[in-house]
Amino acid sequence: MTITVDVREQVRQRANFACEFCGVTEIDTGGQLTIDHFQPSTKQGSDNLKNLVYCCIHCNQYKLNYWSTHANDPVLWNPRHEPHSKHFLELKDGTLHPLTPTGTFTLKRLRLNRSPLVAHRLQKRQHTEEMSLLTRYQNTIELIEKMHIQLSELIGEQQKLLKEQKRLLTLLFENWH
Ligand SMILES: [Zn+2]
């Protein structure tokens, strides 16, 4: 069986154009990614959408046709069934730390701590931090602008008061004479 263009497109869009195992996107890699059969076709995996995962070439190559057939076989993380956070913790240095036996096995099998991927995570993290700093900076500028407006309003009020005071003093002075 072959995967139709329409199904391929559905898998791409569902995955938001990123590898469902490691997160690299089509933009990162400069091209479309591959379609992986979570349960390999060679091991009775179907072409059903439920069994298809959008996957970068590296994850696909490392995964190959792994499928746990025996009860004691380690189970590979299925990104379509469980969230990333259930099995992995991203550390500050950009590496993933496994939280479950499935996490440990998947990390090893798919080499999810391969150095370009760690560098990619760090870059993404840095970008997020820069964006949040930029937002904070923009908010501060807005606040300063508001304060300037309020300050010039206050100065205007003060000038009016001074004028009034001057007028009263002039009146007082004239009457005194
Ligand atoms: Zn990948």
Q: What is the pLDDT of residue 175?
A: 84
- Is residue 146 predicted with pLDDT exceeding 80? yes
Compute the distance from residue 7 Cα to the ligand 1 centre, in Å.
20
Banded pLDDT at 176 (limits 50, 70, 90): confident
Q: Is the pTM of this model over 0.85?
A: no
The number of distinct structural domains making up the chain is: 1
94 in a domain, yes or no? yes
54 in a domain, yes or no? yes
86 in a domain, yes or no? yes
Domain of 64, in residue numbers: 5-113
Compute the distance from residue 19 Cα to the ligand 1 centre, in Å.
5
pLDDT digits (tens, 9 = 90+) for 21-32: 999 999 999 999
Compute the distance from residue 136 Cα to the ligand 1 centre, in Å.
33
CA 157, distance to chain mean position in Å, is 48
153 in a domain, yes or no? no
Compute the distance from residue 70 Cα to the ligand 1 centre, in Å.
26
Q: Are 36 and 67 in contact (CB under 8 A)?
A: no
> Which among 100, 98, 94, 99 has a CA at the least distance from the CA of 114?
94
Q: What is the pLDDT of residue 69?
A: 86
Other beta carbons within 10 angstroms of residue 77's beta carbon come to: 25
pLDDT digits (tens, 9 = 90+) for 75-130: 999 999 999 999 999 999 999 999 999 999 999 999 999 999 999 999 999 999 99
Question: What is the average per-residue pLDDT within 128-144?
Answer: 96
56 in a domain, yes or no? yes
Compute the distance from residue 158 Cα to the ligand 1 centre, in Å.
65
66 in a domain, yes or no? yes
Q: Are 8 and 17 in contact (CB under 8 A)?
A: no
Q: Are 43 and 51 in contact (CB under 8 A)?
A: no
Q: Angle at Cα 147 formed by Cα 145 and Cα 151, nearest 5°?
A: 120
Compute the distance from residue 116 Cα to the ligand 1 centre, in Å.
11
Mean pLDDT of the chain: 95
- Is residue 20 predicted with pLDDT exceeding 80? yes
Q: What is the pLDDT of residue 1?
A: 60
**Pairwise CA distance, residues 111 & 166, whole Å:** 81
In sequence order, what are the residues at sequence separation of 6 or more whose Cβ sits closer than 8 angstroms to the Cβ of residue 93?
A: 118, 122
pLDDT digits (tens, 9 = 90+) for 43-85: 999 999 999 999 999 999 999 999 988 889 999 999 999 999 9
Compute the distance from residue 122 Cα to the ligand 1 centre, in Å.
16
**Pairwise CA distance, residues 49 & 122, whole Å:** 32
